[in-house]
Amino acid sequence: MALTEWVAVAKVGDLDDNDMMMVTAGPEEILLAQVGGQYYAIDNWCTHAGGMLDQGILHAQNLEVECPLHEGYFHLESGAARVPPAEEDAIAYAVKVEGDDILVGPKDG
């Protein structure tokens, strides 16, 4: 599912640089990552077999997250599946900061 509106999911300071965490936006469980001061958000559930990406490994140099179950990789900005067995792209979200709040929303809205 995709978000249809902006949702505050965390506070600035909840997440260190070069780190990631799971956040929720209504029913959606989303991986929020910060790399080089930029925030990125994609679905937290691996499209291969439902691994929880927040339990995986952040490869900050390539803007990728590695799934903890079978080592599939996803690009944090686009959600693109980069390394098999991940084949189906993850939904990617837009992220913005307003005051103290980190918000995620639809990429195209």
Of 41, 58, 67, 102, the residue at the interface with ligand FES (CB under 6 A) is 67
Beta strands of the chain (E only): which ranges?
7-11, 19-25, 28-35, 38-43, 57-59, 64-66, 73-75, 81-83, 92-98, 101-106
The answer to the question of residue 48 lying near ligand FES (CB under 6 A) is: yes
Closer to ligand FES by CB, 35 or 53: give it: 53
* Nearest distance from C-beta of residue 46 to ligand FES, angstroms: 3
Question: Near ligand FES by CB under 6 A, which window of 4-12, 17-25, 65-73, 100-108?
Answer: 65-73
| Distant-in-sequence, close-in-space partners of 83: CB < 8 Å, separation ≥ 6 | 64, 66, 71, 72, 73
Interface residues with ligand FES (CB under 6 A) are 46, 48-51, 67, 69-70, 72, 85-86
